[in-house]
């Protein structure tokens, strides 16, 4: 077999067989096939796509390129959720304890943030003492005992993706749905859960800019998951404005703690957008797991666990299990890192907030220190942005729209300019867009 022939076959729109894909991926991981040939194949995939069978085979081969986590010794259904990335997306921090409170087993591996999007591992590390580097035995033991553990992804998981993604990044082949889907699903499948719930974000702040692209990605990922024997479903949700109102690592933990408090669900006050998505995911996962008789019943059960304080208790236990101080739940202000500088960003116009672009807000938070531009950059856990006004809110000239939190103001002017771009205020009231845009 020759890599040259396989590139030509894909270039001409034909599907590669399992043997051929195994030759290509195996050869690449073992340094037998050079970067330039795999880059040419990736570009051929970019233009020609892949069949459903090819996508499943590619994902399986990528999974087999490294370590696979065996969760079989944990009794019950192991569940995982993946978001394609957004700004102020606190859902995992709230969803994981709700699912564990429901009796599902959450053995989760998460990533770090890069660019304008945040990562759950960074957020959890803002809690003093919280360990994201549990040994495999500690990880499994904790899930058995408490129903929930979350660690960083190890370097041994899907090495083929690590190598391929770095190559795609510099050869303009990231934006290929079969390659994105196999990349994401290979990591989820290698991490071992039985049930995978996907939250595909769409909008300014998301990887997928249009609904059609997001829907196609969701369909392809669900199909791969099912073909490889996992219960898989997806929702498509809006990321036109940041999901939560706090953007930055410790700030997002603060918001999650506030949203886990039972008092947030008293009376008839409206549920925040972050909770709309979290409860939707919880309801769907409970139903898919066979735990609830319908999605609506699952959603109601999720709310019951929030109202009763059970989800908050599981969250506290989770922090303590992983070495953090559970008192952070009672006094987040005292135990979480806080920025030395705070500054309001003011409206220069009256009217209604029409747009609040997640991408610009995420980039502004990153410039204040909350994110990293390059993989090895260090982040400032306390830095970020608190949104005081969101789409639909009425504002007067001089009202505070947002609050900047930072320790190092080197880039504050740029951050302010980005916020000026992010907020668009006009006279008319904006149309209400739904958060849940589709499902697969």
User: Which residues of the chain form contacts with ligand URA (CB under 6 A)?
Assistant: 165, 174, 179-180, 183-184
* Minimum distance from residue 192 beta carbon to ligand URA (Å): 17
- The least distance separating ligand URA from the CB of residue 60, rounded to whole angstroms, comes to 16
Strand order in the sheet with 436-439: 148-152, 105-110, 78-83, 195-202, 231-238, 436-439
Nearer to ligand URA (CB atom), residue 180 or residue 195:
180
Give 117 or 146: the residue with its C-beta nearer to ligand URA. 117
Rg of the chain on CA atoms, in Å:
22
Dihedral angle at the C-alpha atoms of 230, 236, 241, 242, nearest 10 degrees? Answer: -10
Q: State the distance between the two ends of the chain, measured CA to CA, in whole angstroms.
A: 38
Residue 38, φ and ψ in degrees, nearest 5: -70, -35
Tell me the C-alpha distance between 59 and 235, whole Å.
21
What does the alpha-carbon distance between residue 419 and residue 401 come to, in Å, rounded to a whole number? 9
Residues that are catalytic: 82, 161, 168, 183, 187
> Shortest distance, CB of residue 165 to ligand URA, whole angstroms?
6
Q: Which is nearer to ligand URA, 183 or 232 (CB)?
A: 183
Helix extents (H) in 237-294: 249-260, 273-288
C-beta closer to ligand URA: residue 115 or 128: 115
Which contacts qualify for 209-215: CB closer than 8 Å, 24 or more apart? 211/236, 211/437, 211/438, 213/177, 214/437, 214/438, 215/438, 215/440
Closest C-alpha to 41, from 4, 81, 79? 4
Q: Can you read off the two tokens belonging to residue 324?
A: 């953090």
CB of 151 to ligand URA, least distance (A): 17
Closer to ligand URA by CB, 179 or 415: give it: 179
Residue 16 has which token pair? 């590669």
| β-sheet bridge partners, residue 247 | 385
Residues 6+ apart with CB under 8 A from 344: 400, 402, 403, 404
Give the shortest CB-160-to-ligand URA separation in angstroms.
12
CB closer to ligand URA, 217 vs 279: 217
Alpha-carbon span 75 to 3, nearest angstrom: 44
User: Residue 149 or 200: which CB sits closer to ligand URA?
Assistant: 200
- For residue 189, the minimal CB distance to ligand URA (Å) is 13
The CB-of-305 to ligand URA minimum distance in angstroms stands at 30
Minimum distance, C-beta of residue 179 to ligand URA, in the bound complex (Å): 6
**Residue number with the smallest Cβ distance to ligand URA:** 183
Q: What is the DSSP letter of 431?
A: P
C-alpha to C-alpha distance for 281 and 279, rounded to whole angstroms: 5
E strand residue ranges, 185-290 = 195-202, 231-238, 246-247
Q: Which is nearer to ligand URA, 55 or 389 (CB)?
A: 55
* 52 in Cβ contact with 227 (< 8 Å): yes
């Amino acid at each position: 077999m020759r890599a040259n022939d396989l590139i030509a076959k894909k270039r001409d729109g034909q599907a590669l067989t399992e043997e051929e894909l195994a030759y290509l991926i195996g050869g690449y991981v073992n340094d037998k096939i050079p970067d330039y040939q795999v880059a040419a194949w990736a570009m051929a995939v970019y233009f020609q796509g892949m069949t459903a069978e090819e996508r499943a085979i590619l994902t399986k081969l990528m999974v087999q390129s490294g370590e696979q986590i065996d969760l079989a010794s944990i009794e019950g259904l192991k569940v995982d959720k993946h978001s394609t990335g957004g700004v102020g997306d606190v859902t995992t921090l709230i969803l994981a304890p709700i699912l564990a409170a429901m009796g599902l087993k959450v053995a989760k591996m998460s990533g770090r943030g890069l660019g304008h999007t945040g990562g759950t591992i960074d957020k959890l590390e803002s809690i003093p003492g919280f360990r994201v580097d549990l040994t495999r035995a500690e990880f499994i033991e904790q899930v058995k005992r408490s129903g929930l553990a979350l660690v960083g992804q190890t370097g041994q998981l899907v090495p083929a993706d690590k190598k391929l993604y770095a190559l795609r990044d510099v050869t303009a082949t990231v934006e290929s749905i079969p390659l994105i889907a196999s990349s994401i699903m290979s990591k989820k499948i290698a991490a071992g859960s039985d049930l995978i719930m996907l939250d595909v974000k769409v909008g300014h702040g998301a990887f997928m800019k249009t609904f059609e692209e997001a829907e196609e990605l969701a369909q392809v990922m669900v199909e791969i998951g099912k073909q490889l024997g996992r219960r898989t479903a997806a929702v498509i949700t809006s990321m036109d404005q940041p999901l939560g109102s706090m953007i930055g690592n410790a700030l997002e933990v603060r918001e999650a703690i506030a949203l886990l408090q039972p008092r947030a669900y008293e009376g008839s006050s409206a549920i925040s957008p972050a909770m709309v998505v979290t409860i939707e995911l919880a309801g769907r996962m409970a139903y898919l797991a066979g735990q609830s008789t319908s999605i609506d019943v699952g959603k109601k059960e999720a709310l019951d666990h929030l109202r009763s304080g059970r989800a908050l208790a599981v969250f506290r236990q989770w922090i303590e299990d992983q070495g953090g101080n559970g008192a952070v739940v009672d006094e987040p202000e005292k135990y979480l890192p806080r920025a030395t500088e705070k500054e309001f960003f003011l409206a220069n116009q009256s009217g209604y907030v029409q747009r609040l672009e997640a991408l610009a807000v995420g980039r502004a938070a990153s410039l204040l220190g909350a994110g990293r531009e390059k993989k090895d950059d260090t982040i400032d856990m306390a830095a970020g942005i608190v949104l005081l006004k969101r789409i639909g809110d009425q504002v007067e000239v001089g009202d505070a729209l947002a609050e900047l939190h930072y320790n190092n103001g080197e880039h504050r002017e740029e951050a302010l300019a980005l916020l000026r771009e992010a907020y668009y205020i006009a006279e008319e009231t904006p149309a209400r867009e739904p958060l849940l845009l589709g499902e697969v």
